[in-house]
Amino acid sequence: MRKFTPALLILFTGAMIISACGQASDPAARAVESYFNALVNKDASALSAVSCAEWEPDALMELDSLQAVKTQLDNLSCATSSSDGSTSEVNCQGKILVTYNDENQELDLSVRTYKVVQQGSEYLFCGNK
């Protein structure tokens, strides 16, 4: 059985801390990324879980519009552009690639600013501007 050397243990611990810090740094942006991941994976439960109650019917309508096509995310990256109390605005880069009968379309995610609301400790996608 191998033993961890002190250097390996320090490296592993440092990587875990950096990883945890990266995940916690922008929860509003993560909410938007989670929304788009659920949308392209056509996961209605996850989509509802990351949407505010006000937006949930629209989220499910967006999901319905993608049911007959193949979807995938391309280079999604989001960041909070402003925050005012419990509401944040998030801008993204990347696209949703949509394919139907070998015809490809790209939905550019950078053309809108997305609204995220904080309810307790949760950050929820709540539409776009």
Q: How far apart are CA 12 and CA 66, in angstroms?
A: 41
State how far the Cα of 129 lies from the Cα of 127, in Å rounded to an integer: 7
3-class DSSP assignment, residue 50 = coil
- The identity of residue 59, as a single letter, is A
Which pLDDT tens digit goes with each residue over 75-124? 999 999 999 989 999 999 999 999 999 899 999 999 999 999 999 899 99
Distance of CA 15 to the CA centre of its chain: 23
Q: Give the model's confidence band at 1: pLDDT under 50 very low, under 70 low, under 90 confident, else very high.
A: very low
Q: Burial letters for 72-107: b for 16+ Cβ neighbours within 10 Å, e otherwise?
A: ebeebebebeeeeeeebbbbbebbbbbeeeeeeeee
- pTM for this one? 0.80
Which is higher by pLDDT, 18 or 32? Answer: 32
Are residues 95 and 109 in contact, defined by beta-carbon separation less than 8 angstroms? yes
pLDDT for the residue numbered 125: 98
For residue 4, pLDDT beyond 80: no
Per domain, the residue ranges of the chain are: 26-128
Helix (H, G, I), strand (E, B) or coil at 95: strand
**Hey, what CATH topology would domain 26-128 get?**
Nuclear Transport Factor 2; Chain: A, (3.10.450)
